[in-house]
Amino acid sequence: MVEQKKFALFLATPDSEFVKKEYGGYHNVFVSTFGDEGEHWDSFRVVEGEFPDEKDLDKYDGFVISGSSHDSFENDPWILRLCEIVKILDEKKKKILGICFGHQIIARVRGGTVGRARKGPELKLTDITIVKDAIKPGSFFGNEIPDSIAILKLHQDEVLVLPESAKVLAYSEKYEVEMFSIEDHLFCIQGHPEYNREILHEIVDRVLRLGFIKEDFADAAKASMENRGADRKLLETICKNFLKGRVPAN
C-alpha cells in the first residue's frame, strides 16, 4: 500500500467572513488549489500562535506558508516562532512553498532582507516575467516554460535583498523578486496562486471600506481583472509538481 502523503499549511491570516461563508475557510481554499485526492492536510493557525510540535515535523512531506496582513520583518512572538520552525524545516531539507508573506519569511530566515516595497503596494492581476535561463527543462515548471504568468497580487512589502544561493525565477516591472527558489526544497512566490477573482474583489472592497486604499486604486485593481484571469491552472500545476516532487512526463 502506498503511504498517504501528509502536508501542513501554516495559516498566517485569519479567515475573513466572506471566505468562511463561501469556502468554509482558507484551509479549503489552499487544499482545493494544492491538494490531491488521498492526501492528508493539517492546518496550523500560526497567526494565533498555533504550531505543530517539533517532533511531529518529520511526518509531513511538505509545508505551505500563506500570505498575511502582518509585516514579515516584524518581531511579534508568533512571527519569530514561525522563523524558528522554518529554520528547522530548512535544515531538514523539507519542501516549503512560501506565498506572499511566506515568500518573504523564507527570504528572511535564509539571510535575505525584506521590507516595504520600494515602488509601493500592488493589488491587481499582473504579469510576471519568467527567467527561463534559471529554470531547467523537466523541472517542476514542466517542459514548456512560459515567458510570463498572470497572477493575482496583494502586498505592500517585498524581498529587497535575496539570500545567498537563491535563484530569481520571475520578476516584474515593479518588483525584482516575484519568484525564487533555493536548492530543491524552497520555492517562493510573491503573488497568490490560490486566489480567484471573487476573493480578490472582496478584499478590494473591504480594504477600501476600511480606508486603507483610495477609490482610484480599488477601481484599477478591479479593472485589471475585468477581461482576463490569472493563469491559475498553470500556477497550480507548478506548485503541486514542486510540493510533491513530480517531474512532468515529456
Q: Which region among 12-16, 209-213, 244-248 has the lowest average model confidence (pLDDT)?
A: 244-248
Whether 49 shows a pLDDT value over 70: the answer reads yes
Average pLDDT for residues 80-95, to the nearest whole number? 98
pLDDT digits (tens, 9 = 90+) for 137-159: 788 998 889 999 999 999 999 99
Q: What is the mean pLDDT of the chain?
A: 95
101-109 and 77-91 helices cross at what angle (nearest 10)? 70
Whether 10 shows a pLDDT value over 80: the answer reads yes
**Annotated catalytic residue 100:** yes
Decide: helix, strand or coil at residue 169. strand
CATH of domain 6-244: 3.40.50.880
Q: Is pTM, for the whole model, over 0.85?
A: yes
Whether 180 shows a pLDDT value over 80: the answer reads yes
Neighbours of 195 (CB within 10 A): 24
Catalytic residue among 122, 158, 178, 194: 194
What CA–CA distances, in Å, run from 233 to 92, 236, 240?
30, 5, 10
Catalytic residue among 27, 100, 158, 178: 100
**Annotated catalytic residue 194:** yes
Whether 1 shows a pLDDT value over 80: the answer reads no
26-34 and 232-244 helices cross at what angle (nearest 10)? 80
Average pLDDT for residues 219-238, to the nearest whole number? 95
Q: Which region among 99-113, 159-173, 201-215 has the lowest average model confidence (pLDDT)?
A: 201-215
Catalytic residue among 103, 178, 192, 239: 192
**Annotated catalytic residue 122:** no
Contact status, residue 123 vs residue 206, Cβ threshold 8 Å: no
The predicted pLDDT at position 142 comes to 87
The grid coordinates of residue 49 equal: 500562535
H/E element holding 204? Answer: helix 197-209
